[in-house]
Structure 1
């Protein structure tokens, strides 16, 4: 299924299908399913669905709305704890059908759980910029099991909540944090050439990473400085300013995606490469894991260690890249 899903998207976002080890591929399969399904959906009437943090303690999930003699919102809503954003199981599936509908102001798309509108943890409408992204998020909800809603299988939903809630309030802080770590970017760190233990790593970095650095030079007009010191190095102020200006021009969904990729990759340059279409998913993962993969080739793979790390990285990079592509209005 992964190959067919990603091949359908290749024309627009040019990504390929990284292969996961069978024991750790469930989250990636869920992501791929989210992209490819929920196509046959019809709009329903809007009421309210929310997961929130009204109670400072993690209250149980209401499978049915609390009974009330009044016509208050609580009688037509379902409240879920904010543990949704932390990855724990938040309760049994309480809905039958998932659909999408155009937002009331016709400026975005909503996801419906039966007749209830999905909302963010702070009870804001989950209004997504494109129908494609709304259908992908809807598919994540559609494929939840009856015995429990598992947020760790819903990376697009989490990114949507981040883009709608966190980024607008903390945009300056996010950009400041990304720029603060820019000098220690993964792609600027070079293994010592003269060391016999790292010479193979150095040669591979020159082969794989130097073309990306050449692209950065042509894209921003400043040649990146590579270093082999544990204490890092400093890039030219002009390059830092150019990257900061690019981040400031992004919309909320784009910045959420870049931040997620940079965090997983330990590289803002790799995140920008994906954002600008220079890198595909497999290429980015190869650069991120370049040194570790060489060690695995030499010493072998540790089951339950390396394979889990690889699967987790693939999910994080793939989901953020797919979210970025689906959020863009054509």
Structure 2
């Protein structure tokens, strides 16, 4: 039995100003989220990206080809109703940030981690008011509570759409600092993604590529770059 899919019923897609942002109309019908909330984007550019996805649908609607719509749905149906919980979860990454867990050998990996990760920790101290300290090994050592509090305030200050995008920037990279660095354009997003995969890249250079792992990483990279685009369009 074939899976049922909704069919396109509209002729034109319109972006319309709303009190809280910009809505999308399919002919005269407003787009709703799965929870039946009005899909209102925070900026015209974000609304245009959503509208383009709906306009590109052919006979049958394929949600997998609508990443901006899916992110907007998550921002409105999930993040908006549990903003504090999502922000708390992401802020907690600071106490176990990827950039702070360093190898104890070999020297080539130690040097590469220091070269690529230390400048971002320095940037976080200056730009975010939070100094996180690197540790050798994988055992957890708590970070300075004052630094974590400063980072938490910044996470909680993000709007619903920003936080939805920030969730993927942090969770995919494994680093709160890299999430902020991507959001603040400290480096190009593809470069930040590679920095988050420093260990995997080094291992591939030493031992050879794992095609399955590389394919999975490419999927995650695409999601990371999409999240960066969403964050930018949300402002």
Same fold (TM over 0.5): yes
Q: Give 3-state SS (helix, strand or coil) of 2:24's partner.
A: strand
Q: Is the 8 A contact 1:167 1:252 kept in 2?
A: yes
Match of 1:135 among 48, 72, 83: 48
Within-5 A mapping of 1:8-157: 91-103=5-17, 105-146=18-59, 148-157=60-69
Structure 1 equivalent of residue 232 of structure 2:
325
Within-5 A mapping of 1:1-330: 91-103=5-17, 105-146=18-59, 148-192=60-104, 195=105, 198-303=106-211, 305-328=212-235
Q: Is the 8 A contact 1:163 1:252 kept in 2?
A: yes
Compared CA separation, residues 130 and 179, structure 1 to 2 (3 A):
closer
Q: Is the 8 A contact 1:110 1:134 kept in 2?
A: yes
Q: Give 3-state SS (helix, strand or coil) of 1:179's partner.
A: helix
Q: Give 3-state SS (helix, strand or coil) of 2:102's partner.
A: coil
Following superposition, the deviation at residue 281 of structure 1 comes to 0.8
- What CA distance in whole angstroms lies between the structure 2 residues aligned with 1:121 and 1:209? 40
Compared CA separation, residues 274 and 90, structure 1 to 2 (3 A):
farther
Compared CA separation, residues 140 and 295, structure 1 to 2 (3 A):
same
- Larger helix proportion, structure 1 or 2? 2
Q: Is the 8 A contact 1:225 1:234 kept in 2?
A: no
Compared CA separation, residues 98 and 297, structure 1 to 2 (3 A):
farther
- What CA distance in whole angstroms lies between the structure 2 residues aligned with 1:102 and 1:143? 18
- What CA distance in whole angstroms lies between the structure 1 residues aligned with 2:150 and 2:86? 16
Moved more, 152-161 or 283-292: 152-161
Q: Give 3-state SS (helix, strand or coil) of 1:181's partner.
A: helix
Runs of 4+, deviation exceeding 6 Å? none
Q: Give 3-state SS (helix, strand or coil) of 1:320's partner.
A: helix
Structure 2 equivalent of residue 57 of structure 1:
none
CA RMSD of aligned residues (A): 1.9
The answer for unaligned runs of 5 or more in structure 2 is none
Q: Give 3-state SS (helix, strand or coil) of 2:81's partner.
A: helix
Following superposition, the deviation at residue 269 of structure 1 comes to 1.0
- What CA distance in whole angstroms lies between the structure 2 residues aligned with 1:299 and 1:97? 54
Q: Deviation per CA, 1:104-156, whole angstroms, max 9, x where unpaired?
A: x444212223432110011111011111111111222233343x433232221
Following superposition, the deviation at residue 236 of structure 1 comes to 0.6
Q: Deviation per CA, 1:68-90, whole angstroms, max 9, x where unpaired?
A: xxxxxxxxxxxxxxxxxxxxx86
Q: Give 3-state SS (helix, strand or coil) of 2:136's partner.
A: coil
- What CA distance in whole angstroms lies between the structure 2 residues aligned with 1:174 and 1:119? 23
